[in-house]
Amino acid sequence: MLKVENLVTSYGMIEALKGVTLEVPQGKITALLGPNGAGKTTLMFTITGILKAKSGSIRFKGLELVGMPSAKIVQQGVVLVPENRLVFPKMNVLDNLRAGAYVHIGRDKAGVEADIKKMFERFPNLKERSKQLAGTFSGGEQQMLAIARALMARPQIFLMDEPSLGLAPLIVEEIFKIVKELNEDGITIFLVEQNAHKALKVAHQFYLLEQGQVTFKGIPGEMEEDEIIRRAYLGSSQGH
């Protein structure tokens, strides 16, 4: 569904992505692992158009995303839940969700309201707090809200950047449960995670990104998990 070829993105003179090639197949969960600073968030931002690629190609169902404005990329169904949640703090849950559905609200107001009802079924604790201001939520609740808000954009491919970051273990469990459920409902997921252990439990395939390049592609279970995790956290330069 998503094909990235030789993608190069730089911050000024520093090349954060040095020619990344990977593929995210439809209907599956693909995990992107790697140490800090590897370029995972940079890759997510480049795919969604927040950052401009220097060269290379990103094809989504055949459509070239490089050079497309990010608002249009979201309209195509490529939606990112960014790191750090970034909810709208002074808006309540309803408004946050409606904001997420921005691309659809103009044309399909009734559909958006129906979507909100579905969100509340999937995330019952959001329903309880529907009129509360998002800034008063705990980290885990904000993450749920950020996911729900991104889902309102009706994604075909759902990009998640470190959804479990800084959250308590129980909440992390819930988040990964939701990731699995979303995939079972047919949404393709591209997941960046520091928590390699949990990510490997849900992913159908994974890539390892180190220093701006893909160094490994694999299927969980094929290789010793310890080896993968060690490289994911420390990078293969710390050889054994």
Partner 1 sequence: MVDFIQNCIDGVMFGSSYALLAIGFTLIFGVMRRLNLSYGPSIMLGAFLGTYFYVQWDTGILTVAAVTIAGTILAGVYVERLCFRAIRQKATLASMVSSFVIWMQLEEFSIILLPERTYPFPALGSAYIFEIGPFFLRSEHLFMFLMASFLVIVFHFMLYRTRFGLMVRAISENPEAAKFIGIHINAVMFWAFVFVSAVGGVTGYLILSTDQQITPLFGLWATFKGLVAMMLGGMGSLPGAILGGLLLGVVEAQSLWYLGNDYKDLCAYFLLFLVLVLRPGGLLGKGLVEREDLAFRRV
CB atoms within 10 A of CB 197: 12
Whole-angstrom distance, CA of residue 31 vs CA of residue 199 = 6
Q: 211 is written with which tokens?
A: 């220093």
Whole-angstrom distance, CA of residue 84 vs CA of residue 165 = 8
Q: Under the criterion CB under 8 A, does residue 189 sit at the interface with partner 1?
A: no
Window of 101-109, 178-186, 203-211, 231-239 that interacts with partner 1 by CB under 8 A: 101-109
Q: How far is CA 2 from CA 21, 53, 89, 124, 216, in A?
A: 11, 16, 32, 32, 18
Whole-angstrom distance, CA of residue 112 vs CA of residue 119 = 10
Window of 55-63, 99-107, 121-129, 168-176 that interacts with partner 1 by CB under 8 A: 99-107
Provide CB contacts within 8 A for 43, sequence distance 6+. Answer: 4, 7, 9, 17, 20, 32, 192, 209
Q: Which is nearer to partner 1, 39 or 228 (CB)?
A: 39
Q: How far is CA 71 from CA 8, 50, 76, 118, 190, in A?
A: 21, 9, 9, 24, 19
Provide CB contacts within 8 A for 187, sequence distance 6+. Answer: 155, 156, 157, 158
Window of 21-29, 95-103, 200-208, 212-220 that interacts with partner 1 by CB under 8 A: 95-103
DSSP structural state of residue 220: B
Among 8, 18, 19, 50, interactor with partner 1 by CB under 8 A: 50
Among 48, 142, 183, 195, interactor with partner 1 by CB under 8 A: 48
Closest separation in Å from C-beta 19 to partner 1: 22
Among 38, 43, 143, 149, interactor with partner 1 by CB under 8 A: 149
Q: Under the criterion CB under 8 A, does residue 40 sit at the interface with partner 1?
A: no
Whole-angstrom distance, CA of residue 96 vs CA of residue 86 = 11
Among 8, 68, 99, 202, interactor with partner 1 by CB under 8 A: 99
76 Cα distance to chain centroid: 15
Window of 43-51, 137-145, 206-214, 231-239 that interacts with partner 1 by CB under 8 A: 43-51
Closest separation in Å from C-beta 7 to partner 1: 18
Q: Which is nearer to partner 1, 75 or 194 (CB)?
A: 75
Window of 93-101, 180-188, 201-209, 229-237 that interacts with partner 1 by CB under 8 A: 93-101
Q: Under the criterion CB under 8 A, does residue 91 sit at the interface with partner 1?
A: yes
Q: Under the criterion CB under 8 A, does residue 97 sit at the interface with partner 1?
A: no
Q: What residue ranges bind partner 1 (CB under 8 A)?
A: 45, 48, 50, 69-75, 79-82, 84, 86-91, 95, 98-100, 102-103, 105-106, 149-150, 153
